[in-house]
Amino acid sequence: MAALAVAIGIEAQTVWHSADTLLLYGKVNDSTETRYERLPASLKGQVRDQQWYLGKNTAGLAIRFATNSPVVKARWKALNNFAMDHMTNRGIKGVDLYCLGEDGWRFVGSGAPNRDGNGDKTLVQNMVPTWREFMLYLPLYDGVTSLEIGVDSCSLLSNPRYESPIRNTPIVYYGTSITQGGCASRPGMAHTNILSRQLDRETINLGFSGQGKLDIEIAQLMAQADASAFIIDCMPNCDTEIVRERFVPFYRTLREAHPDTPIIVIENPLFSYMNFDQEKYASITALNTELRRQYAAVADANSMLLSPGVGSGSDWEGTVDCVHFTDLGFLRYSQWLLPYLQDLE
Amino acid sequence: MAALAVAIGIEAQTVWHSADTLLLYGKVNDSTETRYERLPASLKGQVRDQQWYLGKNTAGLAIRFATNSPVVKARWKALNNFAMDHMTNRGIKGVDLYCLGEDGWRFVGSGAPNRDGNGDKTLVQNMVPTWREFMLYLPLYDGVTSLEIGVDSCSLLSNPRYESPIRNTPIVYYGTSITQGGCASRPGMAHTNILSRQLDRETINLGFSGQGKLDIEIAQLMAQADASAFIIDCMPNCDTEIVRERFVPFYRTLREAHPDTPIIVIENPLFSYMNFDQEKYASITALNTELRRQYAAVADANSMLLSPGVGSGSDWEGTVDCVHFTDLGFLRYSQWLLPYLQDLE
């Protein structure tokens, strides 16, 4: 149609469509205050302020759509205009576009925010105009208060024409700043998003930076999902006392609601500073020992305790700061996890 | 000694040492305006202003030292306090510490700048006090006007006790923003720095963001080095006209000064947008065709033209913005290049 427009001398313009009617991945349910956030409104005042704040970060949320436009743009407003020294603004508050091809989802282009945190970016252009399926990942460490998709005025935009048959039984992944996507260079490289593409299965990101402390309210939220698996990967935010007091009730909340669903528990990864810092080595070793002890009390036929070892790679190069994964660490971590998730029902 | 200090009740304090007397890697020669920059003073006014500005970015520069301190700190002042949306501040203007172990150089910790661009950071602590060899990488996209290393007052700091026997025949690597390290999460993950560690050979980074346009002044500078290999990897900053006019003189400047030294020329990598953007696909294809034509006119027994293909990985995931490598892309690119550099004299 763009070719037709050129042929008959019409100059195509950009038409903006609100993303609010497009399919949204990554939420346990729709009972949130606004569309683009993770925690249900009922938890406001029930969880710590910082946890509530992070619930409005859009980690793991993604818009699905189809279009035959030769150009795809995005326009969004950031909630906080947050910044960190060890993560790109593009990962914190940018967007990231993938396209479905014969060999799966492929990276198309990412969009950076402006200085005010808002974005208005062309993500790809000059495409042969044919129908394609797209996924747009939302910011990992900020929220969006509005989101629009821009396409060529001679083209159409619609909800996806293809939907994964296993989308409705998501993996529900609980964790820390690492799970939330710290420090992916762009939203698509958080490991929950990588796994979602590789498995073609929705993955709900319940990673909360510094707040993955086995809070029972989060277990209760997770239990509401018709999950294909639950993953508990929050050790870097815990200490031995938290694990001793809260791990068993957290686990049982999931297990009582889902007697047969796999629950995967992950030990604290080994971080490169442990090769040098004796105190950190001792504290992480003690934490993992306590986790094993508590896990033993609840282990069942559908549970699994995994040790990621280095997690981010045996060359210790997969982190930006000895803790938070880069794209390199995230890809390795997802490759390590993938075999445990490939045969889910 | 720290243990002794504790035993006798002395509280160790931090002592700061200027890095100015410590061994510095990554410069062709010492005729620069200040210590921590890349271009000789003689090129001031001779190269484009932006090229001169980028010469003061410390990409590829690294300090070598040894200490028996249980803690290592760094304190530095930034030249520009530069920022970009697709690269971390830690990569742009932070520092990155590695330690030499039995299996080579290992990541220890990175230091982030404060908001003013200056840094004052503990990079590692609580180590068993024994002599270790360290390498501290300097900012990739900013400069430093001063640099100090902090150690425990009960410890010693010295120049390295170990030096690679092949340090004095560096690889001299010419390129673009990618070569300069865009967009590594921390300085050690630029591919020239990765290669330097893996080969245990000094690698001189002459990557200049947006300025890798085959300027003859840079070829003349490169030719001053007693190089083990020259690498020309600047196609993303060139167009067919630049390649047609400047490639042959650039190459000949190196070859006439170094008749037997390997010269490796690298085609423009394929970027993921090329899967979608027809115009970019056409322009990069034309550029590589022109490079092959010009290269054919000068090819000799010690030259090589390499096609990196995707460069950043066949899953197309190794970039932040379809062009600039993340740590994932840089590691893959260095793995791809390594075999060509392993047998250098």
In contact, B201 and B169? CB cutoff 8 Å: yes
| Model confidence at B14: pLDDT above 80 | yes
Q: Chain A within 8 Å of B88 (Cβ-Cβ)?
A: yes
Say if residue A135's pLDDT is above 70: yes
Of A52-66, A157-171, B5-19, which has the strongest mean pLDDT? A52-66
Instruction: Nearest by CB to A185, from B101, B124, B326: name it.
Output: B326
User: Per this entry, what is the length of chain B?
Assistant: 345
**What ranges in B29-176 are assigned the alpha helix state H?**
49-55, 89-93
Residues 257-296 of B with CB under 8 A from A: 272-273, 275-280
- The whole-number pLDDT of residue B136 equals 98
Of the partner residues A278, A316, A327, the one whose CB lies closest to the CB of residue B126: A278
ipTM above 0.90, yes or no: yes
Helices (H), B39-176: 49-55, 89-93
Residue in B254, B339, B237 with CA at minimum distance from that of residue B291: B237
Collapsing DSSP to helix, strand or coil, A116 comes out as coil
- Give A70-109 pLDDT, tens digit per residue: 999 999 999 999 999 999 999 999 999 999 998 899 999 9
In this structure, what token pair is assigned to residue A165?
A: 């048959």
Contact B327 A331 (CB under 8 A): no
Any idea what the Cα angle at residue A212 is, between residues A208 and A214, rounded to 5°?
A: 140
Chain A within 8 Å of B113 (Cβ-Cβ)? yes
* Cα separations in angstroms, A81 against A57, B102, B199: 11, 44, 42
- Identify the band that residue A1 occupies on the pLDDT scale cut at 50, 70 and 90: very low
Please give the helix or strand (H or E) that residue A257 lies within, else none. Answer: helix A240-257
Q: Which of A93, A107, A193 should we substitute to test contact with B (largest number of B Cβ atoms within 10 Å)?
A: A107
Residue A299 sits at the chain B interface (C-beta within 8 Å): no
Q: Which residues of A touch B113 (CB under 8 A)?
A: 85
Q: Which 3 state secondary structure label does DSSP give B142?
A: coil
- Contact (CB<8Å) B88/A88: yes
Evaluate if residue B20 carries a pLDDT over 80. yes
Distance from CA of A96 to the nearest CA of B (A): 9
Q: What is the pTM of this model?
A: 0.95
Contact B128, A276 (CB under 8 A): no
Which two three-digit tokens encode residue A252?
């049982």
Q: Which of A107, A128, A322 sits opposite B317 (nearest CB)?
A: A107
The pLDDT tens digits of the residues spanning A16-48 come to 999 999 999 999 999 999 999 999 999 999 999
Among B15, B4, B135, B164, residue whose Cα is nearest residue B75 = B15
Q: What is the pLDDT of residue A10?
A: 63
Q: Is some CB atom of chain A closer than 8 A to the CB atom of B183? A: yes
Query: Where are the alpha helices (H) located in chain B, listed in sequence order?
Result: 2-7, 49-55, 89-93, 177-180, 191-199, 216-223, 240-257, 278-298, 327-341
Cross-chain Cβ contact A327/B322 below 8 Å:
no
Average pLDDT, chain B: 94
What's the pLDDT tens digit per position in B111-165? 999 999 999 999 999 999 999 999 999 999 999 999 999 999 999 999 998 776 5
What are the tokens at A61? Answer: 């949320």
pLDDT over 60 at B1, yes or no: no
- Please check whether residue B108 touches A, CB under 8 A: yes
What percent of chain A is modeled with pLDDT above 70? 96
Q: For residue A7, what pLDDT band results from cuts at 50, 70 and 90?
A: low
Long-range contacts of A3-8 (CB under 8 A, 24+ apart): A3/A129, A4/A154, A5/A152, A5/A153, A5/A154
CB–CB of A107 and B327 under 8 A? no
What pLDDT, on the 0 to 100 scale, is given for residue A313?
Answer: 81
Q: Please judge whether A109 and B321 are an interchain contact, meaning their C-beta atoms are less than 8 angstroms apart.
A: yes
- Identify the CA nearest to B57 among candidates B75, B73, B41, B81: B81
Over range B226-241, report the average pLDDT: 98
Check if the beta carbon of residue A274 is closer than 8 Å to that of residue A288.
Answer: no
Domains of chain B: 2-158 (2.60.120.260), 171-341 (3.40.50.1110)
Q: Which residue has the tokens 């490939």?
A: A342
List pLDDT tens digits, range B262-273.
999 999 998 888
Mean pLDDT of B294-305: 98
Q: In angstroms, rounded to a whole number, what is the distance separating the alpha carbons of residues B202 and B27?
A: 9
Q: Between A and B, how many residue pairs show a Cβ–Cβ distance under 8 A?
A: 146
Whether B275 has a pLDDT exceeding 90, the answer reads no
**CB pair distance less than 8 Å for A272 and B94:** no
B21 touching A (Cβ < 8 Å) = no
CB contact under 8 Å between A109 and B278, yes or no, is no
Please give the pLDDT value at position B9. 57
Q: Which amino acid is at B146?
A: S
> Mean pLDDT, chain A, as a whole number?
94
Question: Is pLDDT of B6 > 70?
Answer: no
Residue B181 pLDDT greater than 70, yes or no? yes
Res B2 pLDDT > 50: no
Number of DSSP helices (H) and strands (E) in chain A, helices first: 9, 15
Residues of B in contact with A327 (CB under 8 A): 317-318, 320, 326-329
Task: Mention every residue, 6+ apart, whose C-beta is less than 8 A from residue B209.
Answer: B54, B141, B176, B177, B180, B182
Chain B residues with CB-CB distance to A107 below 8 A: 272, 316-317, 319, 322
Distance CA A75, CA A66 (A): 17
Best mutation target among B328, B333, B335 (most A Cβ atoms within 10 Å) is: B328
- Chain A residues with CB under 8 Å of B329 CB are 327
Does residue B124 belong to the interface with chain A, where contact is any CB pair within 8 Å? yes
CB distance A89–B94 less than 8 Å? no
On the question of pLDDT at A5 being above 70, the answer is no
CA dist., res. B223 & res. B255, Å (int) = 8
Q: Do the strands B72-78 and B144-152 form a parallel or antiparallel pair, or are they unpaired?
A: antiparallel
Q: Give the model's confidence band at A249: pLDDT under 50 very low, under 70 low, under 90 confident, else very high.
A: very high
Task: List the Cα angle A150/B321/B106 in 5-degree steps.
Answer: 150
- Interface contact B299, partner A, CB < 8 A: no
Contacting residues of B for A319, CB less than 8 Å apart:
107
Task: Please compute the mean of the pLDDT values over residues A307-326 and round it to a whole number.
Answer: 91
Inter-CA distances, B92 with A48, B117, B172, B188, Å: 34, 10, 21, 11
Query: Which chain B residues contact residue A113 at CB under 8 A?
Result: 85
The pLDDT of A231-252, averaged and rounded, is: 98
Specify the residue for token string 């129908």: A131
Is the separation of the CB atoms in B221 and B208 below 8 Å? no
Q: Is B37 on the interface with A (CB under 8 A)?
A: no
Digit-coded pLDDT (tens) for B95-122: 999 999 988 999 999 999 999 999 999 9
User: In this complex, do B331 and A317 lie within 8 Å of one another by their Cβ atoms?
Assistant: yes
Residues B334 and A317: their CA atoms lie apart, in Å, by 13
